[in-house]
Structure 1
Amino acid sequence: MSTAFDFTPLYSSMIGVDRMVDLVETALRTEASASYPPYDIEKTGEAAYRISLAVAGFAPTDLQVVAEPNLLVIKGRRAASEGQGTRTFLHQGLAQRAFERRFELADYVVVKDAVHAHGVLSIDLAREVPEALKPKQIPIGMGAREPMLELKPAKTRKAA
């Protein structure tokens, strides 16, 4: 099942929307094929988020979390354990395969923490907009504005 969206009306009223459209199209293409490992994304605060991945069977040393600008990459690769080749499974339901999961991050979203517990890798993120980029209220003064006085360099006296 394919769903097509027409983003053309956005181009006439929003500058830079092409990047957002590319992200949406990429997400729609990859979401259907990317199902391992399963994950949740939750909003934990006004500007805080948590990604939880089900990584049963993976030790913390088997996992790698890499934060890049606007991208979070999570990789899992199980180290081969001794005697694993000699084991005979009647049913093997735990996925042991390597994975790489990528999450596009919005501007100013940073990774704060990563914790592995009970087969779940939880990654906390927060949106931290720099103070210089936050909107600021400009006070409006009352009354007439005084013309700016032109400053002249001071004359120096010659010693007599």
Structure 2
Amino acid sequence: RRALSGWSGAIGPPVAPPDAAKSLRWAESAVTLMERGLLPAAEVLHCTEHTQALVLLQPEELVDDLTRRALAPLTHCGPAHARRLAETLLAWLETRGGAPEVAARLGVHPQTVRYRLRQIRELWGDEVDDPDRRFELELVLRARRLRGELGQQP
């Protein structure tokens, strides 16, 4: 342990010997995310404990492209307002709850959530009712949260 002091690394998932290259790719991706500050810098990081981040943040250019397209309606809002709407949308998608549940998660008044949900519906229309579109929105919003661009999950 003392020999590793000051060093960081990642351990890929356990695999059969013929799949060792896959485990190495996971570990390399984890180290890249650690270097960028998107995964915790630890002496040894186990990839299986950070699967969500490894899936949602790699490859970055695909996630960025999908994010631009999926969240395009937010370009009509100022940055702070867009962030609040994105956080509300993510809380709503994750809970599929009503305004009181989403409000409790966000620490705001339920009426504030109702107002934001109306704005979200105005921006996206019926798209928020489409399961594929909701999945896409949740995916990119979770990726943004992992990057530190949205508030943390309660």
TM-score category of the 2 structures, normalised to the smaller one: under 0.3
Higher-strand-fraction structure: 1
User: Normalised by the size of structure 2, how large is the TM-score?
Assistant: 0.28
Rg bigger for which structure? 1
